[in-house]
Structure 1
Amino acid sequence: MSLYLGNQTTPGCPPDWTRLGSRCFIFQNSHRSMGDAENICLSLGGNLASVHSAAENRLLRELIRKESGEAFTNTQDLPSCLQKKPGQWMWTDGSNFDYQIWGPGEPNNHGGAENCIEMNWYWNDIPCFYGKPFVCAKDL
């Protein structure tokens, strides 16, 4: 797999989007709640990015690092991408929750209200009202 994150249009994706496989991704560096972020992604023709492989997780980390201009560290809070329904995690695009890379002791539902996920090197559950930058994804 090759990954190019230059400022050029990625073939098959709209300008400023990055392609991986049959999907396109774009980083949004504005702090929004999960619901607001999902609405923005819907307006762009996609959803909050769902992650289905280590390759997609790496792409999101690199995209966020490149676009934010910050080194990606264990303490860097990154996009919330998921919502929790009672007893199970669900991607907002309706796809299967078939890949996960939780941090040690996560998810822990601290305080009983952590129903969304933030990404750093590993995933952590957080309250959905926290404002975070985010990544949208859409199918080609």
Structure 2
Amino acid sequence: TYIHTHAYACYCLRSKTDGSCTAACPYGWVKFDNRCFTYFASPLDWYSAEIYCVNLGANLASMHNENEYQMVKSLIRAHDPDENPAWIGLSGEDSQKDQQMLKFGWVWSDGTRFDFTRWNSNEPNYSNNGECCVNINWASGHKVCRLRYIHASISSDWLTALQGSKTDNS
């Protein structure tokens, strides 16, 4: 797999009202709220995709509300009309079997709180030992975007999110 890397320059857009500075997204990334998102159509396993993201100063994407979820769906459709599965930053303990504890066993790779999900029906199902990561998957025939718990070694495209920042430039 060949992945072309780019050098990014960050630009600061100074606010005329309060003198603060908000970083602009790198070229080709989509700004949403205070984050920048992009889609990589270069299949990798979950861990390799996360390492690639970290090397960009980002992480695999996390979603925390319905608006972010809808934006991620739109981003996938814009880059992949076939709507194939793509890695996101959610992972869990593969030894975690207690359904009551699931919410507490999930972590986003960017360190943010697990507070929003749209599981596919019958997920997470733990049908395959070693499942530990989540991809965003389109339910067959329904075009419904849902999350699926899957083994991390499977190669998929992936979504990356770069945390925006505000800097005081007074």
Fold shared per TM-score above 0.5: yes
Aligned to 1:4: none
Aligned to 1:137: 161
Output the aligned Cα RMSD. 1.5
Find the partner of 2:45 among 33, 51, 67.
33
Q: TM-score, normalised by structure 2?
A: 0.70
Distance 1:133 1:33, change over 3 A: same
Q: TM-score, normalised by structure 1?
A: 0.84
| Aligned counterparts of 2:126 and 2:134: Cα–Cα separation in 1 | 10
Deviation at 1:71, TM superposition (A): 4.4
Aligned to 1:22: 34
Deviation per CA, 1:6-41: give whole Å up to 9, x if none: xxxxx8211111011000001010100111000110
Q: Is the Cα–Cα contact under 8 Å of residues 83 and 116 in structure 1 kept in the other structure?
A: yes
Q: Is the Cα–Cα contact under 8 Å of residues 80 and 132 in structure 1 kept in the other structure?
A: no
| Aligned counterparts of 1:71 and 1:60: Cα–Cα separation in 2 | 15
Provide structure 2 residue ranges, at least 5 long, that are not aligned to the other structure: 1-22, 97-104, 138-144, 165-170
Q: Percent of counterpart pairs with the same letter?
A: 29
| Aligned counterparts of 1:110 and 1:26: Cα–Cα separation in 2 | 31
Find the partner of 1:62 among 63, 69, 74.
74
Task: Give SS of 1:41's match.
Answer: helix
Aligned to 2:54: 42
Q: Could you list the runs of 4 or more consecutive aligned residues of structure 1 that deviate by over 2 angstroms after TM superposition? A: 78-81
Q: How many residues align?
A: 126
| Aligned counterparts of 1:59 and 1:103: Cα–Cα separation in 2 | 18
Tell me if 1:81 matches 2:72: no
Deviation at 1:125, TM superposition (A): 0.4
Q: Is the Cα–Cα contact under 8 Å of residues 50 and 60 in structure 2 kept in the other structure?
A: yes
Aligned to 1:125: 149
Task: Give SS of 1:16's match.
Answer: coil
Task: Give SS of 1:79's match.
Answer: strand
More strand by share: 2
What code does the residue aligned with 1:84 have? G
Provide structure 1 residue ranges, at least 5 long, that are not aligned to the other structure: 1-10
What code does the residue aligned with 1:122 have? R
**Pairwise mapping of residues 97-112 of structure 1 onto structure 2 (< 5 A)?**
97-112=114-129
| Aligned counterparts of 2:152 and 2:26: Cα–Cα separation in 1 | 28
Q: Is the Cα–Cα contact under 8 Å of residues 42 and 157 in structure 2 kept in the other structure?
A: yes
Q: Highest Rg: 1 or 2?
A: 2
Task: Give SS of 2:73's match.
Answer: helix
